[in-house]
Amino acid sequence: MDAQFLIEVETLAGSLDQLDYFAILKLPQGATPAELKAAYYRESRAYHPDRFAAFPNAALRDLVGRIYRRINEAYTVLRDDRKRARYQADVSGPDRAAKLRFTEVEEAAVKDEQKRKLEEQLGQTPNGRKFYAAALVELEAARLEGAERALKSALMYEPENARFKEQLATVQRELDKGRAKGDVFKIK
């Protein structure tokens, strides 16, 4: 075992928590997918735990294992364009130190937030969604009173839905404007 490599392993393992994924793979942030893949294979070969399985120093094997796991983590995030863009934004921002690792917990939180926003827009309950969809059909046909009834029904099932409340307020403003002008609305 080369003494220089041992020093490199100890240094890299000691600084893993301060390095972003690009630094772990020894790449610039603008690296191409081909460069990323080549760097992953280069680093993976250098730090693969199987190369050190017979090495008597258990502490060194543990350090190599940590480095190898981080190399895989870096490649998994950086090869996915969506994750890479989010990661680059995170490590370029003010919370860089807290965002150096892209965890599955964060990914799950992002997906949960997206699901929550979608549910808020379309409704969280079957009846809320059904009445909201009916309201959208009524709005498309310019039947404001029908839309108002459907939105009020949707709000009976989801009284805290901000999207439903906002849409109802808009419809009611339009109805009030029309009533002030003396317009007659279509009723179905």
CATH number for the domain harbouring residue 16: 1.10.287.110
Please indicate, yes or no, whether residues 7 and 97 belong to a single structural domain of this protein: yes
Token digits for 18? 């301060």
Please indicate, yes or no, whether residues 13 and 72 belong to a single structural domain of this protein: yes
**97 belongs to a structural domain:** yes
Please indicate, yes or no, whether residues 35 and 95 belong to a single structural domain of this protein: yes
Token digits for 96? 């860089």
Residue 104: its pLDDT value, please? 58
Cβ proximity of 77 and 87 under 8 Å: yes
- pLDDT, mean of each 10-residue run, the chain (188 residues): 82 87 92 95 93 87 92 92 86 73 65 71 84 92 94 93 92 90 59
Residue 91: its pLDDT value, please? 80
Written in H, E and C, the secondary structure of the chain is CCHHHHHHHHHHHHHHHHCCHHHHCCCCCCCCHHHHHHHHHHHHHHHCHHHHCCCCCHHHHHHHHHHHHHHHHHHHHHCCHHHHHHHHHHHHCCCHHHHCCCCHHHHHHHHHHHHHHHHHHHCCCHHHHHHHHHHHHHHHCCCHHHHHHHHHHHHHHCCCCHHHHHHHHHHHHHHHHHHHHCCCCCCC
Residue 24: its pLDDT value, please? 92
Please indicate, yes or no, whether residues 90 and 126 belong to a single structural domain of this protein: no
**How many structural domains comprise the chain?**
2
**140 belongs to a structural domain:** yes
Please indicate, yes or no, whether residues 84 and 151 belong to a single structural domain of this protein: no
Phi/psi of residue 121, each to 5°? -75, -40
Please indicate, yes or no, whether residues 96 and 130 belong to a single structural domain of this protein: no
Tell me the residue range of the domain where 157 lies: 118-181
Please indicate, yes or no, whether residues 81 and 169 belong to a single structural domain of this protein: no
Please indicate, yes or no, whether residues 133 and 176 belong to a single structural domain of this protein: yes
Residue 188: its pLDDT value, please? 43
Please indicate, yes or no, whether residues 164 and 88 belong to a single structural domain of this protein: no
Token digits for 173? 């403003």
